Amino acid sequence: MMDACADPSALSGLGWLLCYLSTGKHLLFYASFGTVLLLLAVTAPVALGFGFMGALAARARLWPVRVIGRAYTAMVRGVPDIIFFLFVPIALDQGFEYVRHRVKCPDWTEPVRQGSDFVVCQAAKLPLSTSPQIWHEVYGFALAVLAFAVVFGAFAANVLAGAMQAVPRAQLETAEAYGMTPRQVTRRILIPQMWIFALPGLSNLWMILIKATPLLFLLGVEDVVYWARELGSAKTQAYSYPHPDWRLWYFLALLLFYLGMTKISEAVLGRLTARLARGQATMAGEAMRKAAA
Amino acid sequence: MKTLILTTAALALSAGFALADTVRMGTEGAYPPYNFINDKGEVDGYERELGDELCKRAGLTCEWVTNDWDSIIPNLVSGNYDTIIAGMSITEERDQVIDFTQNYIPPADSAYAALTADADLKGVIAAQTGTIQADYVAESGATLAEFATLDDTLAAVKSGEADAVFADLDALAASVNESGGALVWAGEPVSLGGGVGMGLRESDKELRAKFDAVITEMKADGTINTLITKWFGPEAKTY
C-alpha cells in the first residue's frame, strides 16, 4: 500500500477516499468481478456442452440413452435451483473424497460416517488440508462451475431439443434424398440449422445465468455481492476506515455492473442472431435474401 | 505449457502433504471484535490473535478460512475445516452435534440496544440466526426477527424495522459507543451460555485435547486475560 495511507485516521476528504478505495479489501472486491466474469466465461460453454449432450441423448435411437437424456432434463428442471446448488457440490465433494478414501486408505477400519461427521483419512481430503488456501478456492470454484453447468445444461438441453424439432422436415428429407446417412443428416443439416431456432431460448438462459452468479456465495466462493455487503456494512473504530452503513452505494455499483453486462450481451446476441439467420429457411433468412437480391 | 501447470499443481499438492499438521480454522469474519475481516482483507480480531497463539504453542500450522455463520457447523462436520473459532457460545444443543474445548471467553452478558432506552423489549427484537440470543428472544415472548449477520440486525434497528437488537454485549459495545447517542442500551444485560469455546468434530478428540491443554496453559499464565482486555476493553470479564 502507498505510504500516504499509512495512518488513515490523519487523512480526510479525497485523500481518505482514495486510500479507502485502495485497501487490500477493496482490491479483493475488484478482483471478485474477475471471478464472476471467469465463471460466466467457463460455465457458458460447459453448460452448452451438457445441453448439447442432453439434447442428442433425448433424441437418441437407443432407449437407455434416451431415458437418461430425458430423466436429466426432467429432474433438474423440476428441482429448485437453490436446492441443487446446495446439494450438487456437497454430494460431489463427498463422493470424490469417498472414492479417494477407498483407494488411498484401504486399511482404514473406522466408518466414514460417524454420527453427523463425514470422516475420511487425511490423504483422501480434497484438496488436502495442508495445501494452500488458493487450491481450496480453485476447487470450490470448479465445483461451482459444475453445479451451474448441470443446472443450466438441463435448460439448454430442452431449448436445443426444441430447436432440433423446429428445423423444417423438408430440409432433412432433401438431405436423405441425396443419400446421406442419419448421422450425416444430423451433423451436416440438423445441427447447423438448429442454432437460429435455439438462440432466443439460449439468450434467455445467458441472461438468467448472468443474474444467477450471486449464488456463488452459497457455494463459499467470495463473489461481488459478498464483498459489497462486507465492505458496505457499518464499520466501527475496530477498523482502520470507520464509516456508517454504505451498502446502498456498493449495491448501486453492482447494479451498474449488471446493467452494463446486460447491455453488452444484448448487443452481441443481436449481431449473432443476424449472422445465424443468413441463408436459413426462416422468415428472417428469407427477408435477408430478398433485401440482398 | 499445460503439462508445466499440471506438474506445478501436482508438486504444490504433494509438497503440502509432507507437513501433516495443518489445521484449518473456520471463522465468520463479521463479528468484531471477536473476528472480522480487516482492511487488508485478512481475518483479524481477538480470536485471530488467540488462535495464532494457540497454534504456535501447540506446534500446529494454522490456516484461516471464513464461512457463512448459517452453515458454519455443517461445513465443519463435512470436513471443509477443522475448527470453529467464531465467538460460538457453548450450548447443550450444539454440543450434541460437535465438541467444544473449554471456554476461552468466560460466560459474558448479552444486551439489548435500541434507539431509545425505553424501547419495547416485548416487541420486535432483531437477533442473528442460530445464536443463543435468537433462542432467548424466541422464548422471552417477544417477536423474533432473524438476520444473517450482526450488521444486518443493527441496520434493522436503525431503519425502525425492529424495536431493539439483542446480541453479545461486547459485540454491540463499539456500535453503541460510537453512535453518538443514536443507539442506546435498553433493559438489563442478561447472562447467557457457557462461555465461548472452540468447536471441533466429535471424531477429532486428539486435536481437542491439544487445544484444551494450550488454553489451560494460557489461562494459567494470564495471556488470555491480557488479550481479552486488549480487544474487549478493561470492563470485560476475565479469568
pLDDT band, residue B5 (cuts 50/70/90): very low
pLDDT in tens, A105-116: 888 877 888 777
Task: Give the structural domain span for A66.
Answer: 18-292
Which positions ≥6 away from B154 have C-beta within 8 Å?
Answer: A234, B113, B126, B165, B172, B175, B183
Instruction: Assess whether pLDDT exceeds 50 at residue B18.
Output: no
**Separation of alpha carbons A206 and A233, rounded Å:** 31
- φ/ψ of residue B114, rounded to 5: -150, 180
Q: Is A27 on the interface with B (CB under 8 A)?
A: yes
Same domain, B27 and B70: yes
State the pLDDT at residue A52: 93
- In this predicted structure, the answer to whether residue B9 has a pLDDT above a threshold of 50 is no
* pTM for this entry: 0.78
Angle, helices A133-166 vs A63-78, to 10°: value is 110
CATH of the domain at B115: 3.40.190.10
- Give me the residue from B22, B39, B65 closest to A130, CB to CB: B22
Q: Same structural domain for residues B49 and B100?
A: yes
Same domain, B113 and B134: yes
Which of A28, A130, A234 lies closest to B17 in CB terms? A130
Does some domain include residue B237? no
Confidence band (pLDDT; 50, 70, 90) for A211? confident
User: Number of A:B CB contacts under 8 A?
Assistant: 111
What's the confidence (pLDDT) of residue A2?
54
Residues of A with CB below 8 A from B79's CB? 97, 117-120, 125
Residues B201 and B167 placed together within one structural domain of the fold: no
Q: Select from A118, A239, A241 the Cβ nearest to the Cβ of B78.
A: A118
My answer on whether B202 and B161 are in the same domain is no
Q: What is the predicted pLDDT for the residue at B67?
A: 87
Inter-chain CB proximity B12 and A135 less than 8 Å? yes
Chain A residues touching residue B61 (CB < 8 angstroms):
130
Is the N-terminal amide bond of A127 cis, ω within 30° of 0?
Answer: yes
Q: Give percent helix, percent strand, percent coil of chain B, each to the nearest 5.
A: 40, 25, 40
Asked if residue A65 belongs to a domain, the reply is yes
CA–CA min distance B160, chain A (Å) = 15
> How would you class A3 by CB atoms within 10 Å of its CB: exposed for 0-12, middle for 13-18, buried for 19 or more?
exposed
On whether residue A280 sits in a domain, the answer given is yes
pLDDT at B227 (0 to 100): 93
Question: Has residue B239 been placed in a domain?
Answer: no
pLDDT band at B84 (very low <50, low <70, confident <90, very high): very high
In a domain, B6, yes or no: no
A3 within a domain of the structure (yes/no): no
Per-residue pLDDT averaged across A20-27, rounded? Answer: 88
Q: What is the pLDDT of residue A3?
A: 66
What domain count does chain A have? 1
Evaluate if residue A71 carries a pLDDT over 50.
yes
Chain B: residue whose CA lies nearest to A235: B175
Given a cut of 90, whether residue A250 has pLDDT beyond it is yes
> Quick check: is A6 in a domain?
no
Q: Is residue A226 part of a domain?
A: yes
CB contact under 8 A, A28 and B41: yes
Please indicate if any CB of chain B lies within 8 Å of the CB of A136: yes
Domain of residue B213: give its range.
Answer: 22-106+195-232
Distance CA B58, CA A102 (A): 31
Share of chain A above pLDDT 70, in %: 99
Rg (CA), chain B: 20
Q: Are residues B130 and B182 in the same domain?
A: yes
Q: What is the mean pLDDT of chain B?
A: 87
pLDDT of residue B199: 95
pLDDT at B3: 47
Q: How far apart are CA B192 and CA A291, in angstroms?
A: 79
**What does the pLDDT average to over B138-160?**
91
Assign residue A139 the CATH number of its domain. 1.10.3720.10
Contacts of A132 in chain B (CB under 8 A): 12, 16, 63
Residue A61 or residue A281, greater confidence? A61
Identify from B8, B21, B23, B39 which residue to disrupt to test chain A contact, counting A C-beta atoms within 10 A and taking the largest count.
B39
CA terminus-to-terminus distance, chain B: 58
For B189, the grid coordinates are 444485560
In A, minimum Cα distance to B156 occurs at: A245
Listed in sequence order, the residues at least 6 apart from A217 whose beta carbon sits closer than 8 Å to its beta carbon are A223, A225, A226, B68
Q: Which of B23, B78, B152 sits opposite A94 (nearest CB)?
A: B78
Inside any domain, residue A107: yes
Mean pLDDT for chain A overall: 87
**Statement to judge: residues B117 and B223 lie in one domain:** no
Distance between A19 CA and the closest CA of chain B, angstroms = 11
- Name the residue facing A131 among B16, B154, B201 (closest C-beta): B16
Residue A187 pLDDT > 60: yes
The predicted structure's pLDDT at residue B16? 38
The pLDDT confidence band at residue B213, using thresholds 50, 70 and 90, is: very high
pLDDT for the residue B225: 93
Which of A16-25, A85-94, B122-131, B206-215 has the lowest average pLDDT? A85-94
The answer to whether residue B187 sits within a structural domain is yes
Q: Which residues does chain A have within 8 Å of residue B69's beta carbon, measured at their own beta carbons?
A: none
Q: Which of A50, A74, A76, A55 is nearest to A65 (CA)?
A: A55
pLDDT at B124: 93
Do A130 and B97 count as a contact with CB atoms less than 8 A apart? no
Q: Which of residues 73-132 of A touch B (CB under 8 A)?
A: 90, 93-94, 97, 114-120, 122-123, 125, 127-132
Those residues whose C-beta lies under 8 Å from the C-beta of residue A115, and which sit 6 or more positions away, are B202, B203
Cα–Cα dist A253/A231, whole Å:
12
| Smallest CA–CA distance from A127 into chain B, residue | B13
Provide the shortest C-alpha distance from residue A193 to chain B (in Å): 35
Residue B80 has pLDDT above 60, yes or no: yes
